[in-house]
Amino acid sequence: MSVSEEIPGAREARAICATRSNDPSMLLEILHDLQVRVGHIPGESVPILADCLNLSKAEVYGVVSFYHDFRTEPGAPITVRICQAEACRSMGAEALTERLLSRYGVSLSEISAAGVTFEPVYCLGNCALAPAAMVDGALIGRADGAAVDAAIAEAGR
């Protein structure tokens, strides 16, 4: 095993780049693939991605740090995103967020004892069914505490 293969995400980063023909225009897709496979974008993988795609480390890091969906640290087993955009705020998203944070005893982006993290998001594209939430990729319209709790329980199975 080479030294670079011991770096977290190195082998996966190289393999994903190869499946995308080391095409720099596929950087976003490669980052999504890496996050799905590894759970986050390890900082150590940035120079490897840059090398494979013939980009600068700054270009790769700039994309990773610009988009909120990319995590550079491992996340909680269950992620709850609650829309904080205007339509959802007008339908009670702030109160829903505060109730959930209080119930789980955390603040935004902290990991609860139950392995749940709550993150703000600024539009889930579900304004007609505000407030909207997403639990591990499953969209919830007209979200309330009971619906979010049920989705968290389902995601934890």
Bind-site residues for [2Fe-2S] cluster: 83, 88, 123, 127
Q: State the binding site.
A: 83, 88, 123, 127
Rounded (to 5) percent helix, strand, coil in the chain: 50, 10, 40
Which amino acid is present at 47?
P
Contacts (Cβ under 8 Å, ≥6 apart) of 57: 46, 47, 50
DSSP state of 111: B
Q: What are phi and psi of 82, to 5 degrees?
A: -120, 125
Residue whose token pair is 């919830």 = 140
Q: Are 148 and 116 in contact (CB under 8 A)?
A: no
